[in-house]
Structure 1
Amino acid sequence: MIDRLEKEVDMLERHLEVLRMVIENEPIGIVKMSNETGYPHHKVRYSLRVLEEENLIEPSSQGAITTDHTHEFVEELDEKVDETVTKLESMKIESPAEAES
């Protein structure tokens, strides 16, 4: 159960790293992103597809570029991450040894 969550978080981290690269270097292509991040081309391509489906980037002849929705997403991201961390923290179950301390 937790393994799936860890995989999802890892994938989200990759998507956000790819988005950050697009924001900072637009337009940027798959090969450059792959070389700079160390992610294989197919993983960068998948992240780009997810970001495009979310309307956060769009393709251009020179590479990926941001959209009008990117800035709004980035502004809300920290708050969403904080809310998720709080929710995850509330899911912790104390071990009997911790409860006695």
Structure 2
Amino acid sequence: MIDRLEKEVDMLERHLQVLRMVIENEPIGIVKMSNETGYPHHKVRYSLRVLEEENLIEPSSQGAIQTDHTEEFVDDLDNKIDSIVDKLRTMRIDDTAEIEN
């Protein structure tokens, strides 16, 4: 159960890293992103597809570019992450608490 969550967080981290590269270097292509991040081409391509489906980037003839929705998403990202972190903290089991079987 926790392993799946960790994999999802790793994937989200990759998507956000790819988004950051698009924002900072647009237009940018898969090969350059793969070389700079060390992620294989297929993983960069998947992240680009996810970001495109979320309407955060769009393809151009020279590579990926941001959309009109990217800035709003980025502006709200820290709040969303903080909210998730807070929720995860409430799920912790206190070391001193006894777990009843």
TM-score, scaled relative to structure 1: 0.95
Amino acid at match of 2:38: G
**CA distance in 2: counterparts of 1:95 and 1:21, whole angstroms:** 40
Whole-angstrom distance in 2 between the partners of 1:94 and 1:41: 42
CA-CA distance at 1:36 after TM superposition: 0.0
Matches within 5 A, 1:20-99: 20-96=20-96, 99=97
- 1:58 counterpart SS class: strand
Specify every segment of 5 or more residues in structure 2 that has no aligned partner in the other structure, as ranges: none
Q: Please identify runs of 4+ aligned residues in structure 1 that moved more than 2 A.
A: none
Distance apart, 1:50 and its partner CA? 0.0
CA RMSD after TM alignment: 1.1
Q: How many residues align?
A: 98
Q: How far did 1:95 drift?
A: 2.2
Q: Percent identity?
A: 84
C-alpha distance in 1 between matches for 2:86 and 2:36: 32
Q: TM-score if structure 2 supplies the norm length? A: 0.95
Q: What SS does the corresponding residue of 2:27 show, helix, strand or coil?
A: coil
